[in-house]
Structure 1
């Protein structure tokens, strides 16, 4: 099934959970300097995830099942100085 992650189509097997998207995004961004600095200073990356226009909090990651055509976006926690 296809979902969009920041406007790019990605395939996931039917029944996939939102937590799988979180894992994919965090894995792909973990080497970015800003993310590395945040993890070193705070212990977390602070990436914000949005599913179909609604902010998703960490406790919901495992309970949300992906659906065909879901629009998922992630946002860096800080922009600028």
Structure 2
């Protein structure tokens, strides 16, 4: 092969490798975003349930334990 063909082939391989890298990175970013959104939804659902159980009073989660606080007169 003439040297110019080698350069063209090398550039083509770099372009293909770069495109593949971008696709893999985009897929990983989408998966990470989906996981974060799912976690946010779970926290929101948990806090909504806590507000209902604590009847609107202040509450705190300590791991999986819910503590409802009483107002002091």
Give the TM-score taking structure 2 as reference length. 0.27
Larger radius of gyration: 2
Larger relative CO (CA 8 A, sep 6+): 1 or 2?
Answer: 1
- So what's the TM-score if we normalise by structure 1? 0.25
Higher helix share: 2
Between structures 1 and 2, the one with greater strand share? 1
